[in-house]
Amino acid sequence: MEDLKITGEVEDIIYRNKDNGYTVFSLTTEDDEVTCVGVVPQIHSGEALEIHGSWAMHPLYGRQVQVQYYEKSMPTTTAGMEKYLSSGMIKGIGAKTAKRIVERFGEATFYVIEEKPDLLTEIKGISYDKAQKISEVFCEQHELRRAMMFLQGYDISPAYAMKIYKKYKARTFEIVKNNPYRLADEVLGIGFKMADKMAAGAGIAADDPNRVKAAVKYVLNTAAANGDCYLPKERLIAQAVDLLQLHPLAIENAIRDLQVNSQLLQEKLNGEDCVYLNYYFYAEMSVAKRLLELSADYDAPNMEYVATEIARVEKETGVVLAEEQRAAVAEALSCGVLIITGGPGTGKTTTINTILRILKKEDMDVVLAAPTGRAAKRMTEATGMEAQTIHRLLGISFIGEDSRRQTFDKNEEDPIEADVIIIDESSMVDIVLMQALLRAVESGSRIIFVGDVDQLPSVGAGNVLKDMIRSERLKVVRLQHVFRQAQESAIIMNAHRINQGEEPVLNEEGTDFFFMRRAYADEVAGTIRELVTKRLPRFTGCDGLQDMQILTPMRKGTLGVQNLNQVLQQTLNPAAPDKREVQFRQITFREGDKVMQIKNNYNIVWRMFNSLGKREDEGLGVYNGDAGIILSIDSHAEQLRVAFDDGKVVDYDFSQLEELELAYAITIHKSQGSEYPVVILPVYSGPPMLMTRNLLYTAVTRAKQLVVLVGLRETISAMICNDREIGRYTGLAQRIRNLYDFMHGGDIV
């Protein structure tokens, strides 16, 4: 789009979102009147604007200007002043009062309001108190205008400028000039790099201690976003030196200062100096301590009773348990903390259902939960009991719009009321969520973690399930026997082959696991498009939009999420006169699109409706990985409505669309905890750190009916050979071991 610069006077405010400053307004130029849209807070009729932006075509409202940034000046003519004052910006000044004020004071009107408000009492209907209020509001508007212009001078977009001003008000100027790095800690969305750019503009020295400390925290936060709970000190210093181009001693000093101020913690782990953000250190300590406290509540199983109960359930269900499943049932009836792990087809669900039947007979109060809405829905279907997300089980409290971390209603003071808590898909639980969950488990309650330890680790920091098992201090039952019925599925058998480092068996007749060789990336994309529109709907009867999911290791490139989503949107949900759409950055969202939430939003309202459209439930929170379909787009109200797979219906303001992505294709990481009838997986070249065995294993185990791999056989082989675990710096296993050994004098469970 061409760069555009136009000047004019604000004619009319058509729509304004007071919270985020998103505004639709008309602008009168020398030649024309144009509609403008963008984050342009606190503008009013009569103001003169210089707008920089581009032309955009709205499907309903036609041609309009998309504002990138703007400059504004106060009206200087008496006509402009009158229009500005009568625009509604100051409560109590209508058209008549505005006319009287301007007629009385002329071009000095704004000076009088700002500097000598007492003179306003000369106007009929304006008392002394009202005059002071008019001046106060006028000055506040002036301050906001100055702050917005000031921040734009640092190349800050209007949307972020509005956030900064709302946080600091009159202190904005002082903070940005003296220590803009505070913004990275205190304003959501302002990271170190944006703050650093502002600091450079403010002339702050490259070796300023605030800059170095902010960089250290940035490196540690980036590591946490990649799954690490800490970094080895040498690695932290090297990354900070690389970022700042300063001497390592400056980084050492910053680490020491941050530790003195209780923001970091240093510790030796396995003989290596390690640096934690306090938050993650205390999360690991808390999880280790609580797991051991709960696991101390252990009664030796009454094997005679267990055998009798298992026999009863086997008779009722007609399913005979394997020996390791019997062991899991016995431990579940005895342990304070139990981990049940196993791959696909090893009977995790059968084991859980047996445990549930026995607990039901004992009149135990059982709660089921999983990390995502999809996983909870699957758990409900598999057990016949209601399961919910862990977040919902804990109940979220949200304090302030810039709060970085959720707080939960359930904790030690108000614990979860249950005799037994069962958590499915436990490999997805990160250290922060595990800490919150265990805080809410009452002493005397039992907790059972179920999951496949060979799946990818959680998106958030930690490798919790694997560390719990690796500690060798908690009760673990491994289910390894693949049942005969599961052996008939090539998906399950090939998943186990991949996990054991063996080549999968491909393209056997009557199978559910196929490979299609394609030599070039464009051919792979073309074949995927053909599969979802023609071949697979004919072959399987599955719907390309509802039942098929493309999983890919990468975000960028021909076979990355971004490109495949554009290709598949055009194929499965093309533009049509009856489908409304909205453009947000590089993405077009259209009614009927498959979308996914890509960040936790603890404050967004959801509702659930019954089949008659009557609301039957509501609450807060949509989470990273939740998927759904766009039901409607209302351009006038600037809202988009999504129906999620777990039944939640959510309305998004257009300003919140950064939280959504198209989801025809998603990364394998985002598919964790989900199952799809058909999975299509491009297997082509990519970075070795992504193309790993457990990534391929996770992708394959997402499919219920059919897996189709498209690309190069050599890539499949290379991924199977690349069995390096995605390394994470975590200390939980060591903490559990150390704490247990301290409590028990070195004995091992």
What gap in Å lies between CA 535 and CA 338, rounded to an integer? 45
Run of H or E including 312? helix 303-317
User: What is the distance between the alpha carbons of residues 86 and 74, in angstroms, rounded to a whole number?
Assistant: 14
pLDDT at residue 2 in the model: 55
For residue 392, is pLDDT > 50?
Answer: yes
Q: What is the pLDDT of residue 406?
A: 61
How far apart, in whole angstroms, are the C-alpha atoms of residue 165 and residue 151?
A: 9
Tokens matching residue 445: 């309650």
Task: Give pLDDT tens digits for 226-263.
Answer: 899 999 999 999 999 999 999 999 999 999 999 999 99
Q: Is 0.75 surpassed by the pTM of this model?
A: yes
Q: What is the mean pLDDT of residues 649-672?
A: 90
Question: Does 641 or 59 have the greater pLDDT score?
Answer: 641
- Give the percent of the chain with pLDDT over 70: 95
CA distances from 138 to 135, 333, 412, 487, 536 (A): 5, 69, 49, 75, 64
Beta bridge partners of 423: 369, 449
**Token pair belonging to 339:** 């981990």
| C-alpha to C-alpha distance for 634 and 748, rounded to whole angstroms | 61
Q: Residue 335: which of 295, 363, 306 has the closest Cα? A: 295
Whether residue 403 has pLDDT greater than 50:
no
Angle at 485 between CA 484 and CA 491, to 5 degrees: 105
CA 254, distance to chain mean position in Å, is: 30
pLDDT at 18 over 90: no
Phi, psi values for residue 37, rounded to 5°? -135, 145
- Any residues with CB less than 8 A from the CB of 316 and at least 6 apart, and which? 357
Give the whole-angstrom CA distance, residue 636 versus residue 641: 13
Q: Please, what is the average pLDDT of the chain? A: 88
pLDDT value of residue 89:
63
Task: Give alpha helix (H) positions in 532-691.
Answer: 536-540, 561-572
pLDDT 10s digits, 531-567: 999 998 988 888 888 889 999 998 889 999 999 999 9
What pLDDT, on the 0 to 100 scale, is given for residue 398? 57
- End-to-end CA gap in the chain: 66
Q: Is the pLDDT of residue 745 over 90?
A: no
Of 688, 676, 747, the C-alpha closest to 723 is 688
- Residue ranges of the binding site: 345-349
What whole-number distance in Å separates Cα of residue 641 and Cα of residue 656? 12
Q: Regarding predicted confidence, which is higher, 263 or 137?
A: 263
As a whole number, mean pLDDT of residues 171-177 equals 84
Q: Which residues are annotated as a binding site for ATP?
A: 345-349
Compute the distance between CA of residue 402 and CA of residue 404 in angstroms, rounded to an integer: 6
Rg (Cα) of the chain, in Å, rounded?
30
What gap in Å lies between CA 640 and CA 262, rounded to an integer?
Answer: 43
List, for residues 586-628, the tens digit of each pLDDT value.
Answer: 889 999 999 999 887 777 888 988 877 788 888 877 877 888 9
- pLDDT for residue 683: 94
Question: For 69-84, how does the pLDDT look when each residue is reduced to its tens digit (9 = 90+)?
Answer: 777 776 777 887 887 7
Query: According to DSSP H, which parts of 92-206 are helical?
Result: 95-105, 109-115, 128-152, 158-168, 172-178, 181-186, 192-201
CB atoms inside a 10 Å sphere around CB 616 = 10
HSE-CB for 67 with a 13 A CA cutoff = 27
pLDDT digits (tens, 9 = 90+) for 674-732: 889 999 999 998 888 788 998 999 999 999 999 999 999 999 999 999 887 667 899 99
